[in-house]
């Protein structure tokens, strides 16, 4: 009995336990995780528990190599790492650093200092250097709310500094962290570069587009009210050119919008670019994109294109070439501004308030209505082609704009009336400011009582709109979208009341609702 007692006394159960704070990303939030490291006697082993996925389980080999190559001894003990809470899935290599620090503290190689106010994340290289990880910005924001200090890899320093309320440190090597915790050296603070916020963003300019005045007018209306848009026209009429220049006429992101967008990009592998974090996202996925790529998902859910376009633009070129199943997935996010992804392991919700801009040809060959005889499509083929877009999907697009073919002479014509994006952006900014002051939101978001209050019509205009809806067989959703669009057109004309020409122009933009 004495021999057994003596054997257990060799390892102090209190000193052989270390607890380090960190976080794991679920959706766009960072949930707290406690890394508990325990060393026990027995055959040397290393086990990780607490619902770790493969990359987390493999951390034992990275941690062992990093500790040895940093000049420490890897304890020949039975090592158990518990990631609490145990029912929360853990992914990625972000737990390497807290696990390594926990082992060093539990084995007595690092002084048992107070680390309760520290949180740390980082992937370890075999030589002890720290590599960048994803999801640093949500982690930094949550860490600041908890009044904790955060330690991140040097490559993530600028991203962590975007969270102004967080006291963040940067480290390039495991030794830097150990020296800081032991009081033998200080790490550098994470500070935003002075040139980061002032970095000039070069957009494609609207003046590059020749002709297409009606389409440019529609683009300005869409920008002013946040409305969705569909360009229809033969090849080479400027559909993609116009869509790609929409960011140049939109106002800059506010700080809160930029942080929301950056937090989503931070959790997507390889998507976050600190030099462009103030720029509105412009996502243009290929038409072969799957439903998961567009909406998000996977066994461990990741944000899709609609979430990466949050507070920005989602451009779907060659709309009719997308699979119908993928397009139908966009219907709910277009209405709610968010997407809820449910999987067996977890359920997450991502924001997805984006402006949808699309483009397609009028028929399979593309030349229907271009003023030539090149179109060889029968009426049946045209109907089958357009049937790829369901009625409910078209119903959710505010504006359908047809682009005519541009003649060569018009392309060569030099006109002094061509407006640059900067001038259009000034008008858009003025209209948006008016909407925010009046209703604290854009016209595209008007609903319920606010829609009735700000889109009042007199009796004669009501009769005109009712007659149009009856003849075109428009749905209630299309009726409300016409009201919102007319409200934006009236705002651009600096009118307090919606007048008949505003309603007429809004109805004219729903051309695909009639044959």
Mean pLDDT of 305-324: 95
When the pLDDT of each residue in the chain is averaged and rounded to a whole number, the result is 90
Whether residues 52 and 169 share a domain: the answer is yes
| Per-residue model confidence (pLDDT) at position 102 | 96
Q: Which residues pair with 118 in a beta bridge?
A: 149
Strands of 17-26's sheet in order across? 45-49, 78-84, 29-40, 17-26, 118-120, 149-153, 167-171, 188-189
For the chain, how many structural domains are there in total?
3
- 11: number of CA atoms within 13 Å, CB side? 18
**CA atoms of 260 and 351, how far apart (whole Å):** 9
145 falls within a domain? yes
Domain boundary among 189, 224, 255: 189
Mean pLDDT of 170-195: 86
Mean pLDDT of 307-320: 95
By CB neighbour count within 10 A (0-12 exposed, 13-18 middle, 19+ buried), where does 116 fall?
exposed
Task: Report residue 509's pLDDT band, with 50, 70 and 90 as the boundaries.
Answer: very high
484 falls within a domain? yes
Q: 21: Cβ–Cβ under 8 A, 6 or more apart, which residues?
A: 32, 33, 34, 35, 98, 115, 116, 118, 119, 120, 148
Mean pLDDT of 40-55: 93
72 falls within a domain? yes
Residue 9 has pLDDT above 50, yes or no: no
Domain boundary among 400, 419, 438: 419
CA distances to 18, 69, 103, 122, 249 from 81, rounded to whole Å, are: 10, 21, 9, 16, 52
Whether residues 101 and 15 share a domain: the answer is yes
Residue 475 has pLDDT above 60, yes or no: yes
Task: Report residue 5's pLDDT band, with 50, 70 and 90 as the boundaries.
Answer: very low
Residue with tokens 């800081």: 180
195 falls within a domain? no
The continuous run of DSSP H or E covering 406 comes out as: none
Residue 217 has pLDDT above 90, yes or no: yes
The continuous run of DSSP H or E covering 237 comes out as: none
| Per-residue model confidence (pLDDT) at position 8 | 41
Residue 153 has pLDDT above 90, yes or no: yes
Residue with tokens 């009081």: 183
Read off the pLDDT of residues 325-367 as tens digits, 9 standing for 90 and up: 999 999 999 999 999 998 877 789 999 999 999 999 999 998 8
User: CB–CB of 357/241 below 8 Å?
Assistant: no
Q: Which residues pair with 150 in a beta bridge?
A: 119, 168
431 falls within a domain? no
Q: Which of 9-23, 135-149, 362-376 has the lowest mean pLDDT?
A: 9-23
Whether residues 257 and 324 share a domain: the answer is yes
432 falls within a domain? no
Mean pLDDT of 63-71: 96
The continuous run of DSSP H or E covering 490 comes out as: helix 476-492
| Per-residue model confidence (pLDDT) at position 273 | 79
**CA atoms of 341 and 350, how far apart (whole Å):** 8
Q: Which of 136, 157, 137 minimizes the C-alpha distance to 93?
A: 136
Whether residues 330 and 413 share a domain: the answer is yes
Task: Report residue 59's pLDDT band, with 50, 70 and 90 as the boundaries.
Answer: very high
Residue 13 has pLDDT above 80, yes or no: no
**CA atoms of 296 and 273, how far apart (whole Å):** 20
Residue 6 has pLDDT above 80, yes or no: no
Task: Report residue 419's pLDDT band, with 50, 70 and 90 as the boundaries.
Answer: confident
Which tokens hold the place of 22?
A: 């960190």
Top mean-pLDDT range of 64-68, 112-116, 267-271, 452-456: 64-68
| Per-residue model confidence (pLDDT) at position 196 | 57
User: CB–CB of 102/20 below 8 Å?
Assistant: yes
Q: What angle do CA 34, 35, 36 make, to 5 degrees?
A: 105
Mean pLDDT of 434-448: 94
Q: Which of 336, 363, 340, 335 minimizes the C-alpha distance to 350?
A: 340
By CB neighbour count within 10 A (0-12 exposed, 13-18 middle, 19+ buried), where does 373 fall?
exposed
Domain containing residue 121: CATH number? 3.30.230.10
314 falls within a domain? yes
Residue with tokens 């919102």: 484
Q: Could you write out the DSSP letters of every residue in 58-113? A: THHHHHHHHHHHTTPPPP-SEEEEEEESTTS-B-SSTTHHHHHHHHHHHTTSS---
> Exposed e or buried b for every residue in 245-277, given b needs 16+ CB within 10 A?
bbbbbbbebeeebbbbbbbbbbbbeebbebeeb
Whether residues 310 and 349 share a domain: the answer is yes
**CA atoms of 495 and 491, how far apart (whole Å):** 6
Residue 138 has pLDDT above 80, yes or no: yes
Phi-psi region of 14 (alpha: psi -120 to 50; beta: other; left: phi over 0): alpha
Domain containing residue 337: CATH number? 3.40.50.300
Task: Report residue 12's pLDDT band, with 50, 70 and 90 as the boundaries.
Answer: low
Mean pLDDT of 399-412: 86
Q: Could you write out the DSSP letters of every residue in 154-189? A: GGGHHHHHT-TT-EEEEESBHHHHHHHHTTS--PEE
Mean pLDDT of 386-407: 90
Q: Which of 504, 28, 497, 20 minimizes the C-alpha distance to 260?
A: 28
Q: Which of 287, 301, 437 minimizes the C-alpha distance to 361?
A: 287
| Per-residue model confidence (pLDDT) at position 7 | 45
Whether residues 320 and 383 share a domain: the answer is yes
Which tokens hold the place of 416?
A: 């002094």
| Start-end of H helices in 228-378 | 239-244, 255-267, 291-295, 305-308, 324-328, 331-336
Read off the pLDDT of residues 240-249 as tens digits, 9 standing for 90 and up: 999 999 999 9
Whether residues 323 and 472 share a domain: the answer is no
Whether residues 128 and 248 share a domain: the answer is no
Whether residues 328 and 477 share a domain: the answer is no
| Per-residue model confidence (pLDDT) at position 4 | 41
User: CB–CB of 93/136 below 8 Å?
Assistant: no
Whether residues 141 and 275 share a domain: the answer is no
Mean pLDDT of 360-375: 88
Q: Which of 6-20, 71-85, 182-196, 406-420 has the lowest mean pLDDT?
A: 6-20
Residue 227 has pLDDT above 50, yes or no: yes
Domain of residue 378, residue span: 206-419
Backbone angles phi, psi at 39, to 5 degrees: -110, 130
| Per-residue model confidence (pLDDT) at position 200 | 66
Phi-psi region of 462 (alpha: psi -120 to 50; beta: other; left: phi over 0): alpha
| Per-residue model confidence (pLDDT) at position 14 | 59
**CA atoms of 486 and 221, how far apart (whole Å):** 10
Domain boundary among 129, 157, 189: 189
- The CA-to-CA distance between both ends of the chain, in Å, stands at 93
Whether residues 127 and 85 share a domain: the answer is yes
Q: What is the largest CA-CA distance in the chain?
A: 103
% of the chain residues with pLDDT over 90 = 71
82 falls within a domain? yes
Whether residues 234 and 356 share a domain: the answer is yes
Dihedral Cα 482, 488, 493, 496, nearest 10 deg: 90
| Start-end of H helices in 361-458 | 379-386, 391-395, 408-412, 421-439, 448-454
């Amino acid at each position: 009995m004495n021999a057994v007692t003596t054997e257990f006394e060799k390892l102090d159960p209190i000193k052989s336990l270390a607890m380090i704070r960190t976080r794991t990303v679920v959706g766009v939030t960072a949930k707290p995780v406690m890394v508990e490291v325990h060393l026990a006697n027995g055959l040397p082993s290393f086990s990780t528990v607490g619902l770790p996925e493969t990359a987390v389980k493999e951390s034992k080999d990275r941690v062992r190599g990093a500790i040895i190559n940093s000049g420490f001894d890897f304890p020949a003990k039975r090592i158990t790492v518990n990631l609490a809470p145990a029912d929360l899935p853990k992914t990625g290599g972000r737990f390497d650093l807290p696990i390594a620090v926990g082992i060093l503290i539990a084995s007595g190689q690092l002084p048992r200092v107070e680390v309760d106010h520290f949180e740390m994340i980082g992937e370890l290289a075999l030589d002890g250097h720290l590599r960048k990880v994803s999801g640093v910005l949500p982690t930094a924001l949550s860490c600041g709310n908890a009044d904790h200090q955060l330690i991140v890899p040097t490559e993530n320093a600028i991203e962590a500094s975007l969270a102004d309320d967080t006291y963040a440190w940067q480290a390039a090597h495991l030794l830097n962290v150990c020296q800081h915790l032991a009081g033998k050296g200080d790490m550098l603070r994470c500070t935003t570069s002075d040139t980061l916020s002032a970095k000039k963003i070069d957009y494609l300019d609207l003046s590059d587009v020749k002709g297409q005045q009606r389409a440019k007018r529609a683009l300005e209306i869409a920008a002013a009210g946040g409305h969705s848009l569909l360009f229809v026209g033969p090849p080479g009429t400027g559909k993609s050119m116009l869509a790609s220049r929409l960011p140049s006429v939109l106002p800059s992101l506010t700080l809160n919008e930029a942080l929301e967008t950056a937090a989503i990009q931070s959790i997507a592998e390889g998507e976050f670019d600190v030099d462009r974090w103030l720029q509105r996202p412009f996502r243009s996925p290929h038409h072969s994109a799957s439903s998961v790529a567009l909406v998000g998902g996977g066994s461990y859910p990741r944000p899709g294109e609609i979430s990466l376009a949050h507070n920005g633009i989602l451009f779907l070129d060659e709309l009719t070439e997308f699979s119908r199943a993928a397009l139908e997935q966009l219907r709910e996010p277009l209405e709610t501004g968010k997407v809820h992804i449910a999987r067996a392991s977890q359920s997450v919700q991502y924001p997805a308030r984006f402006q949808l801009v699309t483009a397609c040809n009028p028929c399979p060959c593309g030349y229907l209505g271009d003023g030539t005889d090149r179109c060889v499509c029968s009426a049946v083929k045209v109907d089958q082609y357009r049937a790829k877009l369901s009625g409910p999907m078209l119903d959710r697009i505010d504006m359908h704009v047809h682009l005519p073919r541009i003649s060569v002479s018009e392309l060569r014509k030099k006109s002094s009336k061509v407006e640059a994006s900067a001038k259009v952006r000034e008008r858009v900014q003025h209209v948006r400011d008016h909407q925010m002051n009046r209703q604290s939101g854009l016209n595209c978001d008007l609903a319920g009582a606010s829609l009735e209050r700000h889109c009042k019509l007199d009796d004669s205009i009501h009769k005109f709109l009712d007659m149009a809806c009856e003849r075109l067989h428009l749905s209630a959703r299309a009726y409300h979208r016409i009201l919102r669009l007319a409200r934006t057109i009236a705002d651009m004309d600096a009118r307090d009341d919606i007048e008949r020409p505003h309603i007429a122009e809004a109805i004219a933009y729903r051309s695909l609702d009639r044959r």
